[in-house]
Amino acid sequence: MNSDPRIKETKDVELFRNDAQCVGEAFRRGATRREVINRLIAAGMSVAAAGTVASFAETAHAQTARRGGRIKVALSQTSTADTLDPARGLNPTDQSRHFMFYNGLTVLDETLSPQLALAEEITPSDRATMWHVKLRRDVRFHDGSPLTSADVVYSLRRHKDPAVGSGARSLAEPIQEITATGAHELRIRLSEPNADLPALLGLTGFLIVKDGTTDFRTANGTGPYKCAEFRPGVRSIAVRNNEYFKPSKPHLDEIELFGIADEPARVNALLSGDVHMINNVNPRSAQRIISTPNVSLFETKGGAYIDLVIRLDRAPGSNPDFVLAVKHMFNREQIRRAVYRNYAVIGNDQPIDPTNRFFDPTLPQRPYDPERARFHLQRSGFANQTFPIVVSPAAGNSEEMAQLLQQTALQIGCNFNLQRVPADGYWSNHWMKHPIGFGGTNGKPTADIQFSILFKSGAPYNESGWANERFDRLLVQARSETDDAKRREMYAEMQRLVHEGSGCCIPVFASNLDAHVRQLKGLVPIPTGGMMGYNFAENIWLDQ
Amino acid sequence: MSMVVVRLVLSRIAIAILTLGFVSVAVFVGTEILPGDVAEAILGQGATPEAVAGLRAALHLDQPAHIRYFLWLGGLLSGDPGRSLVNNLPVAELIASRLPNSLMLAAVTAVVCVPIALTLGILSAVWRGSLFDRAANFLTTSIVAVPEFLIATLAVIVFAVRLRWFPALSYAAGIISLDQFFRLFALPVFTLSCVLTAWMMRMTRAAMIDTLRSSYVEMAVLKGARPMRVVLTHALPNTIGPIANAVALSLSYLLGGAIIVEIVFNYPGLARLLVDAVSTRDMPLVQACVMIFCSAYLYLLMLADIAGILSNPRLRHR
């Protein structure tokens, strides 16, 4: 009967459907089209057929978005400091809110490549020192006024004013001059070449507000939702913007966003059906969520880490052998398993994580090696001494990691003494101020930003006080290099320099864990943070 | 009688003003001593020294501390508690959005707790040493010993997550139906009642036992008054003073100390506002919250004292 062509056809369609289903799954997990096609080809499919399946799944994935519905989202941070000013948004709650009400010139996609948003065109000249931006002409603010270059100029210039208190001030430092060259055109001049400017403009800090806005009690942006209510420390309500410039978006009618600081309370609110989505799920609660029907865990791998910082400008970190000893004391596998319940990726004492396109997989992994640690410790002359390590709940899991380190250290003749300090005021009063303490960062959108902010000699957040001339030179070169292959080489060398020299021990990259009701669809991981790099609002939809 | 009350009220008001002045200085000095300031809190990890200096100047934080204190005090005396440093909203507006919530939670809890606590307390005093007394004591002592956050979390897991009788969160804006109101307040009020009832009940019991041991109660018993009459007309009026004090303390706790309940049930009350204000070093807001807590505390204690005087037969008939 196999010769019957109809049966064969049915089988093929069946197969085709299964493939499409699993490919759709891959898209949801954040695979790019190219990756999916490669996967299919590797699985033995012809290039042409693979293309068909991939587009079939892509449209199926996109088409199923349903319009309408209201959801409640509870995020981990909230206080009276909640703000609608994009320049001041520091935490996921604020940033999620800003992505509801505002747009940037660009927006970062799953691979952290900038896609055009308010800008219609961004072209560099002068080796990426001068940038010409053309704005879309069909964009309106929520008050009905059209978007013009004056709004963009105002929004970008604000960061220079100290009274604004912008958190993106240091990122905006290289922007020398912003000039409107027409109603919808402008020019940005940088102090030095930077090929990453379009990615930078996709960060929440650089979202565009209306020209002259100083009162942020409500939001007048161009974003997918309008602000119907905003009360700092209580909640905000976002309602659909029917004149949104992206066709068919947003999908939802309303999003109520508020904070629940207490993690168990947040998880309980999701499990009891009071909210539809939460962020910042502790890996210890993951099992509880997985085992509950109707809710799903959403993992975003990225470049966020909590690291042990050994200051290199004072004892004992000024001795390179001591630093190497500590770096070999980290049982990364154990930290990943016991502290992060496997929701983490092993780190290699350098800040570029595997989701970054410039990650260098050829850099040898530093192993857990107590014998080597003992050797370096002996050579440093600090054997059998006691050193304090400052830990705090502000640097999540720092205490657990320090305890594991303490146990290893004891075996090889080094005493660590844990000093617990409160989370309140940790980043301004303790971070980088002790010989050995904990620091950390959330994922940064580009390798350049990561290195410039946290590792360049003399950078304000150079955690360990590391200085390396070769690294600084490479950083500037890589920034202006437009040839990706050459850039990759430079970034690889920089990763090696940090891995060898800096005082930052990065044991693992922690995943962001969010959770949501199963009917909530459309989430794909974007590595700058959880919930699609906090840009979930215009992408998600409710399947009812 | 009225002279006693008037004198008491006047002297209390004078003392209250002094106390508030002292507390405001203490709070101001306290927030100054705390490491970090509002500029650093706003900038977070972006707090480079020059950015902090710029923002400090913009917020007038670069003025000397005593000048800032007197500027704030001057504003308060002219009826303006100032603006929040972190979000630039008027402090009065922030308080106005939270105070009714706190008052509502306190009122509902008091309505539930006070009658239960007083009844239990009086009954166990009357039947002291009985099985009822011992059971009530054992139960209340055990409940008092359980931390609030545990009661709250267990209540949520059982009644919200498993049974789904009540919502896990207790905030609803706008007008709600009576049924909704009951469902929203059920868990937070239950949590708060667990602690408060036990505490008030034990205070009532102690005060009642004290009075029941006095000679005039013995006299009443010897006269042949029925137990009900002994307790209600002879003993109770004399215990209203201490009981009112216990109730007043509980109520002032409800107003500002319900922080755990506010956090677990995401209820926007004053306690969370104060915690937010302290963590962002928002001095005008901290001061305003503390002034409210302190005045409420003094006011409730004054009411308790007046109630004590009015109910005390000896003072009443003077």
Looking at the partner chain, which of B36, B48, B86 has a beta carbon nearest the beta carbon of A81? B86
Same domain, A249 and A126: no
Number of domains, chain A: 4
Looking at the partner chain, which of A80, A264, A273 has a beta carbon nearest the beta carbon of B86? A80
Reported as a single tens digit per residue, the pLDDT across B164-207 is 899 888 876 666 788 888 888 999 999 999 888 888 898 899 99
Check if B161 contacts A (Cβ < 8 Å): yes
Q: Chain centroid to CA A464: how far?
A: 22
Q: Which two tokens stand for residue A186?
A: 């402008």
Q: Strand A415-420 and strand A386-391: pairing?
A: parallel
Q: CA A341 to CA A522: how far, in whole Å? A: 26
| Distance (Å) of CA A95 to CA A88, A530, B73 | 9, 11, 36
Q: Which two tokens stand for residue B231?
A: 């307790």
- pLDDT score, position A261: 86
Q: CA B214 to CA B208: how far, in whole Å? A: 10
B142's CB contacts (< 8 A; 6+ apart) are none
Q: CA A197 to CA A76: how far, in whole Å? A: 30
Same domain, A295 and A393: no
Across A126-203, the runs of DSSP E, i.e. the strands, are 130-135, 175-182, 185-190
Residue A319 lies in a domain: yes
What one-character DSSP code corresponds to residue A381?
Answer: T
> What range defines the domain where residue A506 resides?
305-510
- pLDDT score, position B239: 87
Looking at the partner chain, which of B49, B51, B276 has a beta carbon nearest the beta carbon of A79? B276
Does the pLDDT at position B5 exceed 80? no
Q: Which two tokens stand for residue B252?
A: 């002032």
Q: CA A83 to CA A94: how far, in whole Å? A: 6
Same domain, A44 and A121: no
Same domain, A359 and A504: yes
Topology of the domain covering B92-311: MetI-like fold (1.10.3720)
Q: CA A224 to CA A248: how far, in whole Å? A: 10
Q: CA A336 to CA A347: how far, in whole Å? A: 10
Q: CA A142 to CA A151: how far, in whole Å? A: 13
Query: Reading across the β-sheet that carries A277-278, which strands appear in turn?
Result: A225-231, A235-240, A254-259, A70-75, A277-278, A512-517, A295-300
Can you give the pTM of this predicted structure? 0.81
Looking at the partner chain, which of A80, A235, A272 has a beta carbon nearest the beta carbon of B94? A80
Residue A82 lies in a domain: no
Instruction: Please calculate the CA angle A48-A51-A52 and round it to the nearest 5 degrees.
Output: 90
Window 299-358 of A: residues touching B by CB (8 A cutoff) are none
Burial code of A173-198, b = ≥16 C-beta within 10 A, e = fewer?
ebbeebebeeebbbbbebeebbbbbb
- pLDDT score, position B259: 87
Reported as a single tens digit per residue, the pLDDT across A404-419 is 999 999 999 899 999 9
Does the pLDDT at position B253 exceed 60? yes
Q: Which two tokens stand for residue B202?
A: 């034990």
User: Cβ of A274 and B41 within 8 Å?
Assistant: no
Sign of CA dihedral A394, A397, A401, A404: positive
Same domain, A336 and A441: yes
Q: How many helices (H) and strands (E) does chain A have?
A: 18, 22
The CA distance from A260 to the nearest CA of chain B, in Å, is 6
- pLDDT score, position B276: 87
Which CATH number do you get for residue A264? 3.40.190.10
Residue A346 lies in a domain: yes
What one-character DSSP code corresponds to residue A529?
Answer: B
Same domain, A275 and A295: yes
- pLDDT score, position B252: 85
Q: CA A443 to CA A359: how far, in whole Å? A: 13
Selection from A271, A277, A296 nearest residue B156 by Cα? A271
In this structure, are residues B289 and A80 in contact, taking their beta carbons and an 8 Å threshold?
no
Residue A83 lies in a domain: no
Tell the burial category of B209 from Cβ atoms under 10 Å away from its Cβ (0-12, 13-18, 19+). middle
- pLDDT score, position A31: 46
Tell the burial category of A43 from Cβ atoms under 10 Å away from its Cβ (0-12, 13-18, 19+). exposed
- pLDDT score, position A13: 37
Reported as a single tens digit per residue, the pLDDT across A241-274 is 999 999 888 999 999 999 998 899 999 999 999 9
Q: Which two tokens stand for residue A543?
A: 């399947």
Q: Strand A70-75 and strand A254-259: pairing?
A: parallel
Same domain, A328 and A455: yes
Check if B153 contacts A (Cβ < 8 Å): yes
Select the more confidently predicted residue: B5 or A69.
A69
User: Cβ of B156 and A233 within 8 Å?
Assistant: no
Residue B317 banded pLDDT, cuts 50, 70, 90: low
DSSP B56-100: HHHTTTTS-HHHHHHHHHHHHHTT---B-TTT--BHHHHHHHHHH
Burial code of B279-317, b = ≥16 C-beta within 10 A, e = fewer?
bbbbbbbbbbbbbbbbbbbbebbbbbbbbbbbbbeeeee
Ranges of residues in chain A whose predicted pLDDT is under 50: 1-60
Q: Strand A130-135 and strand A119-125: pairing?
A: antiparallel
In this structure, are residues A497 and A348 in contact, taking their beta carbons and an 8 Å threshold?
no
- pLDDT score, position B46: 67
Same domain, A452 and A352: yes
Sign of CA dihedral B117, B266, B297, B253: positive
Q: Rounded mean pLDDT of B203-220?
A: 90
What one-character DSSP code corresponds to residue A146?
Answer: B
User: Cβ of A274 and B50 within 8 Å?
Assistant: no
Same domain, A19 and A144: no
In this structure, are residues B199 and B251 in contact, taking their beta carbons and an 8 Å threshold?
no
Window 461-480 of A: residues touching B by CB (8 A cutoff) are 461
Which CATH number do you get for residue A429? 3.10.105.10
Return phi, psi of residue A43, to 5°.
-80, 5
- pLDDT score, position A126: 80
* Interface mutation target, options B37, B87, B91, B285, chain A, most CBs of A under 10 Å: B87
Q: CA A325 to CA A425: how far, in whole Å? A: 30
Three state DSSP letters for B167-236:
CCCCCCCCCCCHHHHHHHHHHHHHHHHHHHHHHHHHHHHHHHHHHHCCHHHHHHHHHCCCHHHHHHHHHH
Q: Which residues of B touch A83 (CB under 8 A)?
A: 86-87
In this structure, are residues A254 and A145 in contact, taking their beta carbons and an 8 Å threshold?
no
The torsion angle over the Cα atoms of residues B46, B51, B55 and B57, rounded to 10 degrees, is: 160
* Interface mutation target, options B40, B43, B89, chain A, most CBs of A under 10 Å: B43
Return the CA Rg of chain B: 24
Residue A212 lies in a domain: no
- pLDDT score, position A226: 96
Looking at the partner chain, which of B55, B268, B276 has a beta carbon nearest the beta carbon of A163? B55
Q: CA A292 to CA A273: how far, in whole Å? A: 12
Same domain, A260 and A310: no
Q: How many CB atoms neighbour CB A519 within 10 A?
A: 16
The CA distance from A519 to the nearest CA of chain B, in Å, is 18
- Secondary structure of residue A284 in the 3-state scheme: helix
- pLDDT score, position A9: 36
Reported as a single tens digit per residue, the pLDDT across B127-165 is 988 999 999 989 988 988 888 889 999 999 999 888 889
A107 - beta bridge partners? Answer: A115
Same domain, A520 and A448: no
Does the pLDDT at position B219 exceed 50? yes
Residue A113 lies in a domain: yes
- pLDDT score, position A153: 95
What is this model's ipTM? 0.81
Which CATH number do you get for residue A193? 3.90.76.10
Same domain, A385 and A498: yes
Q: Which residues of A touch B89 (CB under 8 A)?
A: 217, 232
Token match 């005093």: residue?
A: B125
Tell the burial category of B226 from Cβ atoms under 10 Å away from its Cβ (0-12, 13-18, 19+). exposed
Residue A50 lies in a domain: yes
Residue A92 lies in a domain: no
In this structure, are residues B59 and B71 in contact, taking their beta carbons and an 8 Å threshold?
no
- pLDDT score, position A209: 95
Reported as a single tens digit per residue, the pLDDT across B75-92 is 888 888 888 888 888 999
